[in-house]
Structure 1
Amino acid sequence: MSGHGFAASRSTPDEDQTAVAVADHRSVPSRVRGLLLAYLALTKPRVIELLLVATIPVMLLADRGRIDIGLILCTLLGGWLGAASANTLNMVVDADIDQKMKRTERRPLARQAVSRGHALVFGLVLGLASFVVLWLTANLLSALLVMATIAFYVLIYTMVLKRRTWQNVVWGGAAGCMPTLVGWAAVTGSIGWQPLVLFGVIFFWTPPHTWALAMRYKEDYRAAGVPMLPVVATEAQVTRQMVVYTWLTVACTLALIPATGWIYLAVAVAAGLWFLLEVHKLYRDTLRGAEVTPLKIFLKSNEYLAIVFCGLAIDAVVNLPTIGSLF
């Protein structure tokens, strides 16, 4: 009786195959979703927020008093594709490092959710798409600037500087400054002194911003063999450098004042004083040997840059007489 009951409860081979097929069918949407999310993660979507912060205000400044929504959207699309390409190719090169760092071990290539070959093709296609979009909707100069950005970020920063010198983010940060030049070029077809000043703002802002994060994750970088400044220097030395670069950042924001109005002047001065006080406080705390939370400076540096560039955007849209025109 019990044997008959056991036999009756067993499934046939056909039933087993049907059950597996149903399970596989049900898992297809989740696998596709997971793969799509992995490819999206390759582009580092959160990092691309800097693109929006930098590009839109610069374009508004270049076309002061006028808003060309179509050109702005097309430039943002082309810029996003370029940044996504650079970030993807960066992950292809850094796959070995990412596997050694807790902060990056869940990235797609580190956990082998996407093959390096497929990621390489994906990154190159994104770069080509960026060039085409900007060339067709803006101009050739903006498209070439994005190509130069991708090449510099991958070939110079990722493949050379990052693993060899503590100044990696100082010079490598130039890639993150390029949206200022791209946005200006998309509007004017040229490069002026104003985008070069804004290039300097982001260039000097990048080291203290990145070093604050690296202080938090310095053991990760040490394990991966990446000589970030917090890995090779004391906290006091790192925060002293952060103070220097923050002063240079604020000085660059003030250098733009002749091309702007009173709104930008007020925002740049107030935000600069606030951020300088925060970074100086971090430096003083490290000198006293107090426990510090550098991640707060990392977050506040994001807020600072957003405030300055939003002030610039509002100033350009309101289009009051520039301070330079008053003298």
Structure 2
Amino acid sequence: MTVSSPFFAENQDFLSETLNDLTPTPPTNEIQLDNGCRVTRIGLGGIQVIPDNSADNKQLIFSSAIHGNETAPIEVCNQLVNEILSGQLTPKRPVLFLLGNPNSMRIAERFVEENLNRLFLGKHSAPGKSPNLETERAKQLEAWVDAFIEETNQDASELWHYDLHTAIRGSHREKFSLYPYVPNRTPPKQQLAIMQAADVKTVLLQATPAGTFSAYTSVKHHAESFTIELGSVRPFGQNDLSKYQAVKTLLCQLIEAKEASIPDQLAEEVDVFEVCHEILNTGDGFELHIKEDVWNFAPFNKGELIWNDTQQEYRVGEATQYIVFPNSKVPKGQRAGLMLKKQ
């Protein structure tokens, strides 16, 4: 399979050009593949693929590198782009690939100045907010999503967005996903079956609004969106990508419009958790009684003290609760962890 003109610089691909800041912008680059797909480089870390004839009204967004040191999903998405360009994979739906935070990718850090995954849905421009690399990138990502939706929108269209991450700590459930909070909404059985097919056997239902990227597409574009945690942070080149074969296969099925082969009965094998308490750093005197190295989904029993400040405390109620994302170092007012209960 050949393309009509070179798309990347010599010996480069989507990932390496993004790391090396080689993507020309503006203008954007665009080519048409022999199968009719139009591939457009919309800017640094952004590529969209529009098939000549879509199989249906679904649109796909696969994002990674919202945290720059979470490299395995980045490498998986890079493989998918390479396979599309080489003709190994023929998209039957519009798909947008986004590498969220190139600046943090280059320094192999979670972020440069501020956690990008707290800055969507207008939080990048909140009153008193000082601009930084992450606030500007959040605006750019939102604008790219909006433009993609506008260009590919059709009657009865459906947007599916999977924001792919890896965790900074161990987990008793290695792969799990978070379903953003939208009032009066629950994940469809089909989406739970898709998670199971990707070897993501645990879904966490968020209970309050958030400023995450998946929340942006859920709230603004009514997307079926998930933040998906797929394992542990590793440097580029040190990931065992065989552990990610299930999710790669699933993404290929979605790109090729073949997910109908996934039986809805798989949804019954997914464990669903819901947030029963959001831990916030309340300020002076706040103390989180969770060890810094505790794993996600660690259980806590009735009466155990989770946090306190000078005026209040939180203890586990009658049923066992589980912790995810504990972090005592977050600034005042930010989330220091989530307590869950199993449905």
Shorter-chain TM-score tier: under 0.3
Name the one with the larger strand percent.
2
Give the TM-score normalised by structure 1.
Answer: 0.28
Q: Name which one, 1 or 2, has greater alpha-carbon Rg.
A: 1
Flag the structure with higher helix content. 1
Q: Which structure has more RCO (C-alpha within 8 Å, separation ≥ 6)?
A: 1
